[in-house]
Amino acid sequence: AGSPWDECFEAAVQLARRAGQIISKALTEEKRVSTKTSAADLVTETDRLVEDLIVSELRKQFPSHRFIAEEATAAGAKCELTTSPTWIIDPIDGTCNFVHRFPDVAVSIGFAVHRELEFGVVHHCVEERLYSARRGHGAFCNGQQLWVSGETDLSRALILTEIGSKRDPATLKLLLGNMEQLLLAKAHGVRVIGSSTLALCHLAAGAVDAYYQFGLHCWDLAAATVIVREAGGIVMDTTGGPLDLMSRRVVAAGTQKMATLVAQALQPISYERDDV
């Protein structure tokens, strides 16, 4: 039986592909780069152009829906998840990669109803990998079903994380201390690829065993959370409690055991919530 959100899902897939073409083309061209909350928090004209395209097309098709989108929020729009159908959009996740032509960049489109994530679409523009998942229907990449790894032992784990935008000495000390703890626990490796969304997609595909970050935003997380969960994985708060999309922190893993071990190794790094 069709879900009431099938039409929305199809629209998300179409728009992620259209946006992906624009981003891939722009990747190799000259860019005008500005900063947002810090010298490491970047935005380009392409971020804004792609966000405007996605949001305006969706608004036309679904006029009663609400939107949370990265660049509109940066420009002062309220970041509020209500019970209404809500699109949560990152036009370019991995903007710093995009600026440097490092080829890990993605479009991320998530959709929530009654504050519950219904589906997620993530498009790796350069490699043309389309990751998607609908609640209760499994996770896929270009038609192939995804499953997380079943690893439960930290000393056999490959772990992804992201640095985030704060670069003050106290934050960096905590950030590096967290990596150190995982390496002291003999994790096989800790990797940083510059896109939270794609890191979570690697987790969904079983290419890594865990992912954690402090300082990411709801639009980095929304779509990929559905993909990880539908691939059989856990996405939770760094305290071990349920995920809070607006809290700027996450631990995700293929197994509950692995998620708990990673969460226990971490010292919290505080960031202002997305919904203040």
Binding range to ligand LIP, per CB under 6 A, among 12-20, 87-95, 125-133, 183-191: 87-95
Active-site annotation holds for 220:
yes
Binding residues for ligand LIP, rule CB under 6 A, total 17
If one asks whether residue 90 binds ligand LIP (CB under 6 A), the answer comes out as yes
Contacts of 232 (CB under 8 A, 6+ apart): 147, 148, 254
- One residue of 20, 110, 120, 194 binding ligand LIP per CB under 6 A: 194
Residue 220 · residue 196 · CB < 8 Å: yes
If one asks whether residue 162 binds ligand LIP (CB under 6 A), the answer comes out as yes
Residue 122 · residue 198 · CB < 8 Å: yes
220 known ligand binder: yes
Binding range to ligand LIP, per CB under 6 A, among 60-68, 163-171, 229-237, 251-259: 163-171
* Cα distances (angstroms) measured from residue 15 to each of 95, 189, 275: 18, 35, 26
Indicate if the alpha-carbon torsion angle 167, 173, 177, 178 is positive or negative: negative
Fill in the DSSP letter of residue 106. Answer: E
If one asks whether residue 238 binds ligand LIP (CB under 6 A), the answer comes out as no
HSE-CB for 1 with a 13 A CA cutoff:
3
Task: Give the active site residue among 23, 68, 92, 227.
Answer: 92
6 known ligand binder: no
Catalytic residues: 70, 90, 92-93, 95, 220
Binding-site ranges for ligand LIP (CB under 6 A): 70, 90, 92-95, 162-165, 194-196, 215-217, 220
